[in-house]
Each structure stands twice: as structure tokens, then as C-alpha cells.
Structure 1
């Protein structure tokens, strides 16, 4: 071995230079230096370790919705369990409503272009010309004994200094009273909650979310996750149980996270009977509140109040919607291990499409996601209609999409159904597989979009869905402004985060499933990841390691290129040489041999670029293997048999160049002169020894008329015009090829 290394260094002295002076970062090197190392909390297999821990926060909340003043007033008691090995002298809580305060550090920075012809609403986003009150007013924060606790508020985070240290393994109780003005959703870009006003009937739909002071995550990888909320990066939250009492106007209907505990007190006998009927309806929704009843309800404007009581177990958040405008339908969905009530709440403005599609979309999502990961574990799954939004919370989501005068285009309907599926899907990622949205948006949006698109493809085959072709324009963009997927949530360019955090991870997972690992093995691995990290807090390294651990597949090359770089796929089919072998006993060293002269001429001609196969094959004259070529081996191969097996066969040498920089498996389509086709697939490892150019030899019985790379467009190749041989000569030729071959 030492002698071989010495010879290599003599032949290739640059190897020694690289080893001594440069960290080798080839495309197939491990990504160990790019991800956090394994430890007793998170194992090298990608699973939680024996020492894994996470905190817990249980909530008891009483809240009142003041419709007259558009205010939320609440009191909560938090029981915080310190399961960490550290003692804590202070706690951090999230105050997301403060993001709406004027002067907030993020105000106006998401999209701040002033231009000629700007709309009044866009100027409102930028300048807040029409001011409004926003943000928390904290009345008190007390400990379990009723003693006041000192607090420090830094924008959207509140630090609570404990009177006594919270030791490892112990729990502490906080009591907090607060209020805040509910904001008009139409005044904000990226509005995730607030109210929507309907002037025609002078009513309001309230979406109440990140409405109470919530415990921030404290974990083993970064301690307190106390990054400020800046609208793009969402939330990192602890699991716990919730007891919530929601007091609203008497004629309001409340849709909420959790199980309704006092249905007899808040619903009429007719509504109760309909709800019980829905519990046995598996084939279609039952109207709990009809259009006529909702329209009549809009006129009441009751001054009295009513309290709805809900309980939710093992959730990481809690949200609700309230309005007198709601129609309500419900249907039961039977899963292998759970029965779920799927329900939709919507104003009359959502008819007819919401009554026709919303609850059915919930059902489709519940079934596909459950099959792909684990059965949906909660008792209800709710979709609430509002405008210009898609936002998720445990058991409930707020979803946009409405007809205009009762009519909706097919494209708008597809978008609406897709939004509902997507937001329902967030129950799995990140509401149960609870990744850190504020740091790694792609871990919830990308994984969820992957299953969302799978649901659309399987249950709505006539709808458009994401494929590798979708990402091509983005991947082919300006590398000076593109950023890798592994960019933290709030640092992505606003006009790129959709592609980078939603679509690119989705396409990457589609490639792994359909073309690199295979569906059966990938599906097992993806399910393994979901179940390993159910009700826990995974990081990117945990996902990467689990997919490798559960498939026995080296994927570091894929992670490195797809997640950590902005390289794109552009494989060029540079050349295809055609050879034939004839069984004859000649000697290449015999210069007088006519065959040898002919071969020499062909080889000289072969140095020129080949345009097609019209000149016929080059002829190979095979020599007998000299004895010294065997080294110390005494056995000999059967020379005549080899020549016989190859005689008359077509041998094709393919040269492929990596132009885009991103290595991928190679799929080669052979089209023969008789019109038949054949596919050869080469793994990405074909690029290991040369990341820029590869040659591969194939034997074919038939003569080839055309060769194509990536014929089914599996790998998001950004330039299909260089994927065929003979070379595409005209744009129309390429367009025909693209139309025929780029749609899987």
C-alpha cells in the first residue's frame, strides 16, 4: 500500500498538495462538517438518544373577545416543566402580537419598494400612514405564590426573572394577565391572524392566533430559542395540555383547537342533533349550521356573552375563530387507529365552493398524510375560510379562496383546495413533528409541501402539481443572489423563499423517492423519521441521518449539493461514439494489414466532433492479451469466446459533462433504428472519480438512431437542449423534444 501511494504521488504530485494545504470538499465527501455532531441526545442514526429531553408547558386560559372594541383580554396559568439537565434562573416567553407595534424592528422591511403607480394599500404596508393600536399590554406576571415577577420585554420576546431558580426536574407556575387590540388583517402584509370585516352586513370574522404569551423552546442544541418574530420565520413551541374558556358574543360560533366540552350549553338542540348525525356520516358532510341560519344569525348583534370550553392534549399551540357569520359542516373520517371529525366553518361568501370542497379536502389530506407518516391523532380537524391567507395551528387552519358572486375559476378552485390540503398537512409538520420554523422554515414547509403535492397528485389527478420541471427557472437563476435551502427563515429574499423553502425541498424529496432511493424504501424511511420525531423537536441533521440510516443509501452527495449549494443540474450529452467488433484474427501492430490502416484512419477522424451516426461505426480490432498483462495470475481468459460474444454487436461510448455543477444519477434513453426504446440508469456515484466529465460504454444488439439524457425529466435539468445526440439542430426540434419528453 505504501509503494502504491509513493507511485501515485510521483504521478500526481498535486494530490499531496491538496491533502496538506486544502480541505477537500468534493461533491461526494461526507457532510459531517456541515451538520451538528451526534451525541447522547441525538444519535448518529438520526433517532433521539437515550438522554434526549424536552420541556413541557401546560396552559389554563380564560379569554374574552370584546367585539365592540376589537380587543382580546385574557388570563392564563402556565405550568412549566424543566426537564433539562440545567437549572434555570429566567424564562423566555413569546409576545408575537408586538410585531404589529409601530416602530417594530421588522416594520416595512419585507417588501419596501417605493415605485411610481404604487397602490394606497402598498403604501400603507410601507408607511403605516393610517395608524392603529397594536401589541400586548401585560397587566401582571406572578409566580405560583402570587408574588410579582420582574419582566423585561425585548420586542416580541419577554424575559421573566424567577424569584427562585427552577431546578432540573422541577416545575414552576406563572400567572399572566394581558390584553391587546385585534388588528385589521387587510392592513398587513403577511397577516396571519386578526379580524376581517364585512361591510355589507356589518359583521366580522375573527381569527385569533398567537394571542397569548407562550413559552419559548429551550432545547439541547441552542438553549433558549428566543429569536425575534419577523413575520417570515414562524414559531418554535413546546408541547402541553390546554384547558381554555373562550367568552364571545352569544350569537357567535367558535371553531377551535381541541374538544368542545360544553356543547349542550353553546349549541341548540337542532345543532347538537346534526353534530351527532355527522359523527356517523362517513360519506358526506352534514350541515350543522345552514346558510339560512347563518344569514339570520348575522342580523342579531347580541350584547350578551357565552363561554365555550375546550380541552386539547399534547399540542404545541392553540388557536380559534369566532363569528356570527359561520356556516358549519362536519363529516367523520375513519383512519386505521383513529376516528376524526372533519369540519369546515365559512361565511356565506364562501358558497358554494366551500360547502362542496373544504371538508372533502380535509378528508383527502387526513388519509394520504396518515398513510405516509402516522395516523392523525387528534379528535377534530377544522378548516376556516377567510381571505388572503393560509395559516396552520393544531387541529385548525385558516384558509383563503372564495368565489366571486358565487363563481370561481378552475385555477382559483385548485388553489383553494391546495391551500386547505397544505394547511391541514401542517398538523404533521410542524405541529407534531415539531421542527423549529423560525430557524429552518424548509423543515416544515418543504416536507409538508412534499406530502401536499403527493395528495394532490393522488386524489386530484386533474389538478396541477409540483414536479422537477417546476423548479427549473429558479435553479437556473442568478447565482449571485440565490441562496441555499440551508438558509435560516428570516434571511431569505422575500421573492425567493417560496421556491427555496417550499418547492426546492419538495422536488428534492420527489427525486429521492422516485429516482434515487425508490418508493418503497424511501416511504419506509420517511415514515421512520416522522415516527421517531413525533411530539419531539428534530433538526436538519436528524432528518438527513434518518433517511440514510433507514435506506442504507449514502445521500451525503445529495444533501451537500441540493441543500447546501445553489448549483443546478445541467448534464450535457457531449458525444456518443459508435463501434463494432468483427471476429477476425488481425494484429494491430502489423502496419501492412489493411484493417489496421483502416482503423488508424477512423481513429484519426474520431478526434473531430461527431454530429450523428451517419458515417457508420468505427471498427475495433481486438488483440490477444499478452502474458505480462496478467501479472502473477496463471489462468487465462478465453480470447476467442470474448470476440465471439462481441462480434457484430454495437458498442457505444457516451461522454457526459457536468455543466451545472450538481451531480445526479444519469438516465439514458436509447432510441433504436427500428423505433423501439430502452433505458439505462447510472447512479450518481458514477461521478465519484471525475465530477466534471464521465465516459461510459454500453453494448447494444440493435443500432441506435438517437440518445437522450433524463428523458422523463426526473432531475430538473435546466438545459434540455444539450441532452440529446445527434445534437438538436433547431429550436423547433428542441421544443418538440421538450414537449414529448419533459412531462413525467
Structure 2
């Protein structure tokens, strides 16, 4: 206003919690651009986050023949690798990953694992200390060129260097063969891991999950050179795209599922199975069972000694995995994707029924459709879910868990756990099998993005789905953790203490907050889809993701990446004080009445109350000589001078000023304290005296001048009864007790629980289905 109106405080209420002592600097770096924290753009990767005009990546094609020995649980294989050097660099050598060597006798994995003695130790714990005397790891029998000449190699634990006879120049290709074998390990034992076998003592059969099973080409990239960091068991893989032709020889009664398309179904399937398979290709509403449970149970007993060879082809994949067992039930259905059909399939033993027959393939189909709607049409011909008390992903095939009790009943925890892991592992086809990030460096780029996508798919499956990760308030326990157990999301996977919360839950939560609170769904969804489509079948880095999200949305998110991905500070924003103001309308009578009320309140104290009884008569009351003008003067009486001053003032006001003066607006000055350090938007719910409410949203940039304390005034027509900060729990605030005005105190609760757990995916917890069945 041109003329300042006098303002008086009618009410003041404050909250004074205890706060940590901060440095004198109010403006640090939370809103500075990331700058040199990111790699510089270049001709391979642009400043917009898109591939550059000279972007390149290598290619590695494979022809593989492998045979499974079901008697001694081993495999032997031969492969031909055709490696294309699309880089601008001459290569003197190639690096190959030997991931099976992570379980070899000289592995560094058990050496670098911490161990301790507890008062009670079980066999599994002791075995992990003693390690094992099993003959595991690769046996590399030969590496030869196409003339049969040996190529010198150097094996360094889980990496093998192939020394080329002459440098492989840009634009050239080289071919070589590798002959190898290894003993498959029991993944249900203390050794664990993703691949291996599971033995079923009741029928004497094995279920094989063959992953990381052949020497695989490491990635050579513009941003890293060779990614030859050793495999220690946790950090997953950086792999090269290529085409695969794979022949898999197994017992004749085994069912095989694999990456790619089966080339010889007439040779390996029975006429009945082949007919059912053709029917499944045209069925879109429900799975078709191709090998039934009864048929699988019959094969479990027969155990053929004959062999069959299954042939699979896969194009433009970064890896190849397969599974084999005579125990398998197999079902499939078709899913429409971008003008073509994708076959959603499941392989599972009888131990997984009835859960898997009812849900697995339906969940696979749902996942493909849900993810595709937010990224790109699923480009591969198949998507397979295998029940293997596991949880791991590969192109077109993944291994999952979720077994009911022996009587076929199960808890809702097992049901939803199974659905979640299938969504998660099938979803990994998108991240990182197609959008092919480097998992060994940045676990969050596949696990975090995929967990975010999983959350959305879960909510589309069931409106009341009990999602474990995604909603902001569910990351709070991790964000409250002791500082010495926290690392930034941008941390190498092998160095993270709380791996699941850091690499899965926190980045997923960050993306949910970006979508729902920071950017809004429309801007976020467009930018996220742009990232996925820019980098499908390519090798993105974090910079490419960060830059694309900003480039496609016009939202500056450097402050968000800095806080959520490069930092460990939690969100804890306190509503520190609330001051309530009204404009004084200057009417002389009301002004004098207000002054009288304030005076009487000021002079109303306990001594006066007591003195009414204890002092029968004061000096002034007893002696008229002690009185003067002021004893009869009433300062709260409206005088003609008061009326004239008011009328003169009103005459000088414009109509707009008069309107504001008489508006009756309530002004609420809110002060906020950044206790946690991580800046976030202010989401404020005003609850009014008349029972209505309203939410105001203030962008995080309000903190840009003072990152520790800010104030904001809100003009309201209605009188406010209470105020709540972050009413929808969307910022991951770790302390909600300081989010209320007036203050509210809610007791914290703790839960007692039993600590022991069983095999991953096995039934646990309350099982109402079992109780109901027992009553029948």
C-alpha cells in the first residue's frame, strides 16, 4: 500500500521447541547448480541429457553350446564371441567377466566379509566362517582364435583379460572361442547367490537357475573405458548388447525356459504341449497351461536318461539366462504390445501351487502393460517368471519366490510378496535390461527406478495394495538412522551399509516425491518417458537422467538431486511459531475499546485481587486532597479530536484501500525451521473455525536465501483453528510432532516381534487361510 495502515497484534501464539545450533551462514549451497559434480557434456552425451551425435557403444554376439549334467550338477560349454569395436579407440585387449569365480576357493568375497562369534552359532554361520572346500568357479579350458590358435589370457579373480594378437581398430571386429566348465552350487546353502540349483529331497529332483553362467563381455564405454571392477557378490553387472544363438542340452524330460525365442519346439515339446502352445499364442484373457501339474509329477518319478537339445535365439540383449527342471509346470498367454504379441509365461514346480497358477503369468502380463505405458512398448517377444525361491532378473526371464504351505494355504504376506517380486523382476526388463545402466557403479539407476515403477504397478493391481516402498513416509525409519550408517544414493553398491533402503527405497521415494509433489504428474511422466526412450538399448549415466528430467520439463532440480542423491540429510521441517494479525480498522470507538481491554488485561494481576480484601481503603480513596485531574480522566473515552482524525484519515484513502481496511482479513505469519537440513516444499493445511480446510503449497525455493529459517504470511478470510504441515505425509518428514499448531503430542509406539526367519519367499506370519481351512 502507498500509505501504511497501523497494525496491532490481537493474538500471538508460539511454539518453542529445542533446535540444534547451526553455523552463522544461512545461505550455503543447497540451491547452487551441480556444476562440476556432474561429468561435462561432450559429443557422446549432450548437456540436454540425450545421446550425442557421435554416441557409440560396443556389440558382442554369441554362439553357445552348453550341456547340463543332472547327475553331478555341472555344466560344460563352448562359445564363439564376435566382438565389434564401434569406439574411436584401438583396443589391445578385451575384458571378460568370470562371475562364477566369486565362489572359487581363492575368492576375495569371503575374505573381505566381516565375521564374528555369537553366543549361539548355527551350522550356516559356522560354514560361512570356515568357507568351503567345494570345487567351484570357472575352469577355462581354452581361449582360441578362429584358426584354433591359443590366445594369451590373464585371469584376475572374476575378470579375464584377452590379449589380442594385434590391436582391434575402430570399425573392426574380432572372433574367438572359449571352452569352459564349472560345478553348479547349491544356492539354498550358505553360499547363496543368484544362480545355482535347488534340490527337492521328497522326489529327488533338481531345479536349475542358470545365470551368470558363461564368460560375459565387460562394457567398454565413453565414460568409463573398461568396466572391469571385480564382482564381489552384490554389485551387479555392466554388460554389452548383442545377438545370441544358444543350444542347451538337458535330460529329455526337462522343461527349459530361456532368454529369447525357442527355435525347435517340434523337437522338444510333445504333440499335446505343442498344440497347447499354439493355443496360448492366441489367448489374451487368461493363461493356458501347457505342461500340467499332473504331467510334471509323472515326469518327476520317471527321470529319463535320454537327452534333448533346446535351441534359442535372442536379438539385441545384454545377457542370456535359462532354467531347467523336470518338475516344471508351464503356462503362457499373449499380451498386445505395439502392434505385436508378447508371450507372458511362468515355470513353477508343484510346490508353488496354487499361488503361481492363479497369479504369476497374470502379473507378468500386467507388469508389461503398466511399465510400457510409462516408458516404451515392450520390445522383446517373451517375458518369463520362474519360481525359484529367489529374486533376480535377466533379459526376458527372471527368478522369483512365493511358495504356499504344504496344504496349499498361504498368508497375505506371501501372496503380496510374490506379486511384488514378480512385478519387480519382470520390470527389470525395462531397467536395466533395455535402459542399460551400469549396475556395478550405480545400483539405484536400475533398482531405484525399477522400485519406483514397481510401486505404480502395484497400485494399479489392487487399490489397497500394501506397497512396502514408494510412499514418502515409509522411508522415514531409514532417514532417521544414525549418520554413520548412511551414505548418499550416489555411492558404489559394495560400500553401502543399508543396501535395500539406500539403493531401492530412497531413490524410489525420491521419484514418487518428484512426481506427486515437486513436478506434478504431467511434467514428470513426460520427462521420465523421454529419458526411457532416449536411452533404450543404450548405456545411460546418472548425468543423463538428471539432465533429461530437467531438459524435458523446464524444472530446475539441481537442489533436489543434490539433497536426495548426493546427501544424507533428512527432512525435518518444523512449524516453529504462528502469529495472528488483523488490520486495525481505526474506528475511534473500537480503537478505544481495544485499548481499554488491553489495559485491563495488563493491570489484572493477583496482588490486586488480594488487595480488594486486605486494603479496605487506599489513601486516594480516603483523602480528597490527593486527587487531581487524572483521577477522573478516562483515556478510553472517544473525543471529537479522535473523530476528526479518523474522518480526515478516511478521506485520504483510495477506494481500494478502504476495501482492504474493512475486509476483516486475518493475517497469519508462519515461521519454519529446517531442523533436518534437507530442503523441501512447504505443504500447509489450514483448518478453519467453520470446519472447512485448505492446503497451500509453497515451492522449495522459498529456502534459497535462508536454508535454515523462513517466514511466510498468509491472508485468510476465515479464522484459522489449527495448522498442519505436510498433511498428506508426502515429504518424508522424520519428525511430525513439530508439524502442528497448536502443538499436538502423540505417543510413539513400538512393536515386539519374533526375530527368526526362514527361506526367502517361504510362508511366514499369520495365515488366516489355514485357520479357515482347518474349520471346514
Sort the TM-score into its range (normalised by shorter chain).
0.7 to 0.9
The CA distance in 2 between the partners of 1:718 and 1:707, in whole Å, is 18
Deviation, 1:301, is 1.7
Corresponding residue for residue 424 of structure 1: 426
Q: SS where residue 564 of structure 1 aligns?
A: coil
Deviation, 1:726, is 0.8
1:125–1:187 Cα contact (<8 Å) kept: no
Aligned partner (choices 473, 479, 483) of residue 477 of structure 2: 473
Asked if 1:557 corresponds to 2:559, the answer is yes
44-53 vs 183-192, which moves further: 183-192
Asked if 1:690 corresponds to 2:692, the answer is no
Residues 110-151 of structure 1 show CA distances to partners (whole Å, capped at 9, x for unaligned) of 5634312222112223322x5211011111111233221100
Corresponding residue for residue 459 of structure 2: 457
Corresponding residue for residue 627 of structure 1: none
| Unmatched tracts of structure 1, length 5 or more | 1-21, 587-592, 606-622, 625-636, 736-744
Please give the residue correspondences for 1:241-280 in structure 2 after superposition, counting only pairs within 5 Å: 241-280=243-282
Deviation, 1:221, is 0.8
Corresponding residue for residue 67 of structure 1: 70
Aligned partner (choices 152, 169, 189) of residue 167 of structure 1: 169
Deviation, 1:645, is 1.9
Deviation, 1:528, is 0.3
26-35 vs 306-315, which moves further: 26-35
Asked if 1:502 corresponds to 2:518, the answer is no
The CA distance in 2 between the partners of 1:598 and 1:564, in whole Å, is 58
2:186–2:192 Cα contact (<8 Å) kept: no
Corresponding residue for residue 92 of structure 1: 95
1:571–1:656 Cα contact (<8 Å) kept: yes
The normalised TM-score by structure 1 is 0.88
Task: Label 1:638 to 1:244 Cα distance change in 2 as closer, same or farther (>3 A).
Answer: farther
Aligned partner (choices 51, 74, 78) of residue 54 of structure 2: 51
Corresponding residue for residue 735 of structure 2: 719
Residues 519-564 of structure 1 show CA distances to partners (whole Å, capped at 9, x for unaligned) of 0110010000000000000000100000000110000000000011
Asked if 1:404 corresponds to 2:405, the answer is yes
1:65–1:73 Cα contact (<8 Å) kept: yes
Deviation, 1:338, is 3.0
Tell me which of the two structures has the higher relative contact order, counting C-alpha pairs closer than 8 angstroms and 6 or more residues apart: 2
Deviation, 1:646, is 4.5
Aligned partner (choices 74, 79, 82) of residue 82 of structure 2: 79
Asked if 1:731 corresponds to 2:746, the answer is yes
The CA distance in 2 between the partners of 1:240 and 1:364, in whole Å, is 27
The CA distance in 1 between the partners of 2:57 and 2:499, in whole Å, is 29
Please give the residue correspondences for 1:174-189 in structure 2 after superposition, counting only pairs within 5 Å: 174-189=176-191
1:124–1:187 Cα contact (<8 Å) kept: no
Please give the residue correspondences for 1:219-618 in structure 2 after superposition, counting only pairs within 5 Å: 219-387=221-389, 389-405=390-406, 406-465=408-467, 466=469, 467-493=471-497, 496-584=498-586
The CA distance in 1 between the partners of 2:43 and 2:535, in whole Å, is 15
Corresponding residue for residue 658 of structure 1: 674
The CA distance in 2 between the partners of 1:518 and 1:127, in whole Å, is 53
The CA distance in 2 between the partners of 1:51 and 1:74, in whole Å, is 37
1:338–1:376 Cα contact (<8 Å) kept: no
Task: Label 1:706 to 1:531 Cα distance change in 2 as closer, same or farther (>3 A).
Answer: same
Q: SS where residue 355 of structure 1 aligns?
A: helix
Residues 355-400 of structure 1 show CA distances to partners (whole Å, capped at 9, x for unaligned) of 111101101101100001011111111001112x100000000111
The CA distance in 2 between the partners of 1:724 and 1:598, in whole Å, is 33
The normalised TM-score by structure 2 is 0.84
The CA distance in 2 between the partners of 1:638 and 1:296, in whole Å, is 97
Deviation, 1:600, is 10
Deviation, 1:333, is 1.1
Q: SS where residue 185 of structure 1 aligns?
A: coil
The CA distance in 1 between the partners of 2:681 and 2:486, in whole Å, is 24
1:450–1:509 Cα contact (<8 Å) kept: yes
Task: Label 1:453 to 1:601 Cα distance change in 2 as closer, same or farther (>3 A).
Answer: farther
Deviation, 1:601, is 8.7
| Unmatched tracts of structure 2, length 5 or more | 1-24, 604-644, 647-651, 750-776
Task: Label 1:300 to 1:689 Cα distance change in 2 as closer, same or farther (>3 A).
Answer: same
